[in-house]
Amino acid sequence: MKENDPLISELANIVGSEHVITDPTSLSVYECDGATVFKALPDVVVFPTTAQDISEIVKIANKHNVPFVARGAGTGLSGGMLPVSGGIIIALNRMNRILEIDIANQQAVVEPGVVNLGLTQAVQDDGYYYAPDPSSQQACSIGGNIAENSGGPHTLKYGVTSNHVLGLEVVLTDGEIVEFGGAVEETPGYDIRGVMIGSEGTFGIVTKAVVRLLRKPEGYQTLLGIFETIDEASNVVSSIIAKGIIPAALEMMDHFVIKAVEEAFHWGFPLDAGAVLIVELDGIKAGMQQQAEQITEIFNENNCRETRYAKDEADRQQIWKSRKSAFGSFGRLAPNYITQDGVVPRTQLPKVLRRVAEISEKYDIPIANVFHAGDGNIHPIVLFDERDSDQCERVEAVNMEILSACAEAGGTITGEHGIGVEKMDYMPLIFSPEDLAVMATVKAIFNPSGLCNPGKIFPTAESYAKLGR
């Protein structure tokens, strides 16, 4: 698109030409998110600073009948921000101010581009934190978290983004600016805030959010259990939950991941272990030791080779850094990877993980596993080389079989990454045409022109053909 295109000059009038990108080299930075196998170039990227800017940009997009999509930090894992039909990317990086920190009311008002961890850092000296902690929290934005309804390791105890957002200011797809929810826990009427969260940027653009802040727990106990097999470790997961203990986090890494993480971070993970479980307890210190002992017992009953404890806060942080940065270390394993995100009932974990191993063997595609075991939210990392077309075809079959296994086990195809473009084809595995029709009806209310983030979430005729339906 040329700089003298009327659309471009109108956008430049709003944000200034220095905040509009149109040259192909710079645009290529915006061609994908964390799911790098999916690529599409926008025609233009704009960097607004206010809701009013965005409202005007959206009105211009409508006038020119051009698609538009919001983009946070680009750390998404399902291609949710992918400009599949080109058009405008509304990049929210400059809207990164924390507008208000209200410790007395345990809430903060933030712009969408605020980095998740940045909010926690801003309130930690007051003894507070923002609970949803996706692994990408050092980079990902709260606006992106809201669009995807992001989770993280500690959602086992504290819930997902939707449980922590009280109010939203949104630019609707016609440019109108409206608030949903507020600074109080409930407001009368339909919970549009709740429907907006997790709508993957297809209902409008969040320009402000009121989020809850939580008091930092008095104490933590972080345990590491080292097991010979995934099976033993997944039995531990079920046993802990069945004993009535809900840890703050309950994470598993398999041997592939242990190796990649250890080579990158040198925490001391044993390279020959079959699986490592990270169990974190948090809350009031009194009584915590007894729970830790109960967990150690469950470890031992399941043939645990060794139990380690985080020695101090620095040690604990190092464990979490290793776990959360695991994704960064997969580059060591293969040129490309796709991270699956299925969820199964916790009791089905051993069975489904065995199935994942079989699928890996069947198609000769290595699969690593690092995931939120306590939630039953698995992350099979499908490793491949995108330059090998035969591998790519097998990867597609692998994805299909893994997600089918999750659906058959009574689960779902995504626990926190969203559908985006990546999993559209698999939606019929869990939703009937009638279920999807209601979603389409609701989408048509919020996004009647379809210009706001098109080509996401909904399966196409091709998807049904692929599934043989």
Rg (CA), the chain: 22
Quick one: which of 120, 336, 414, 453 contacts other proteins (CB under 8 A)? 414
Task: Please give the structure tokens belonging to residue 458.
Answer: 């909904």
By beta-carbon proximity to other proteins, the closer residue of 143 and 411 is: 411
**Contact assessment for residue 151 and residue 132, using Cβ atoms and an 8 Å cutoff:** yes
Quick one: which of 290, 312, 387, 468 contacts other proteins (CB under 8 A)? 290
Examine residue 284 and tell whether it contacts other proteins (CB under 8 A). Answer: yes
By beta-carbon proximity to other proteins, the closer residue of 188 and 468 is: 188
Rounded to a whole number of angstroms, the minimum distance from the CB of residue 161 to other proteins is 9
Examine residue 314 and tell whether it contacts other proteins (CB under 8 A). Answer: no
Site residues for other proteins, 69-128, by CB under 8 A, read: 102-107, 127
Task: Please give the structure tokens belonging to residue 404.
Answer: 């089918």
Rounded to a whole number of angstroms, the minimum distance from the CB of residue 113 to other proteins is 21
Query: What number of residues does the chain have?
Result: 469
Q: Pick from 149, 148, 187: which is nearest to 167 by CA?
A: 187
Count of CB atoms situated within 10 Å of the CB of 242: 11
Phi and psi at residue 37, in whole multiples of 5°? Answer: -70, -20
Examine residue 404 and tell whether it contacts other proteins (CB under 8 A). Answer: no
Using CB under 8 A, which of the segments 23-31, 182-190, 298-306, 314-322 binds other proteins?
182-190
DSSP code at position 132: -
- Helix or strand holding residue 100 (H, E): strand 98-102
By beta-carbon proximity to other proteins, the closer residue of 255 and 443 is: 443
Examine residue 400 and tell whether it contacts other proteins (CB under 8 A). Answer: no
Examine residue 449 and tell whether it contacts other proteins (CB under 8 A). Answer: no
Phi and psi at residue 334, in whole multiples of 5°? Answer: -165, 160
By beta-carbon proximity to other proteins, the closer residue of 7 and 457 is: 457
Examine residue 343 and tell whether it contacts other proteins (CB under 8 A). Answer: yes
Examine residue 345 and tell whether it contacts other proteins (CB under 8 A). Answer: yes
Q: What is the size of the binding site for other proteins (CB under 8 A)?
A: 93
Examine residue 188 and tell whether it contacts other proteins (CB under 8 A). Answer: yes
Quick one: which of 47, 180, 330, 384 contacts other proteins (CB under 8 A)? 180
By beta-carbon proximity to other proteins, the closer residue of 194 and 366 is: 194
- CA dihedral of 409, 410, 413, 415, whole degrees rounded to 10: -110
Using CB under 8 A, which of the segments 41-49, 262-270, 302-310, 422-430 binds other proteins?
422-430
Site residues for other proteins, 120-139, by CB under 8 A, read: 127
Examine residue 428 and tell whether it contacts other proteins (CB under 8 A). Answer: no
Examine residue 295 and tell whether it contacts other proteins (CB under 8 A). Answer: no
Using CB under 8 A, which of the segments 11-19, 23-31, 45-53, 344-352 binds other proteins?
344-352
Using CB under 8 A, which of the segments 236-244, 263-271, 299-307, 388-396 binds other proteins?
236-244
Rounded to a whole number of angstroms, the minimum distance from the CB of residue 279 to other proteins is 16
- Give 323's Cβ-side CA count (13 Å radius): 30
The residues that bridge with 417 in the sheet, in sequence order, are: none
Sequence-distant (6+) residues with CB within 8 A of 49 are 15, 94, 95
Quick one: which of 62, 187, 296, 303 contacts other proteins (CB under 8 A)? 187
By beta-carbon proximity to other proteins, the closer residue of 155 and 391 is: 155
By beta-carbon proximity to other proteins, the closer residue of 120 and 377 is: 377
Quick one: which of 245, 264, 392, 400 contacts other proteins (CB under 8 A)? 245
Q: Which residue has the tokens 């473009």?
A: 421
- Write 152-155 long-range contacts (CB < 8 A, 24+): 152/372, 152/416, 153/249, 153/251, 153/278, 153/280, 153/320, 153/323, 153/324, 153/372, 154/248, 154/249, 154/280, 155/372, 155/375, 155/416
Q: d(Cα 111, Cα 5) in Å, to the nearest integer?
A: 30
Quick one: which of 175, 411, 428, 455 contacts other proteins (CB under 8 A)? 411
By beta-carbon proximity to other proteins, the closer residue of 273 and 457 is: 457
DSSP per-residue codes, 9-67: HHHHHHH-GGGEE-SHHHHGGGS--SSTT-----SEEE---SHHHHHHHHHHHHHHT--
Rounded to a whole number of angstroms, the minimum distance from the CB of residue 146 to other proteins is 12
Site residues for other proteins, 351-380, by CB under 8 A, read: 372, 375-377
Relative to beta strand 214-215, strand 128-129 is antiparallel
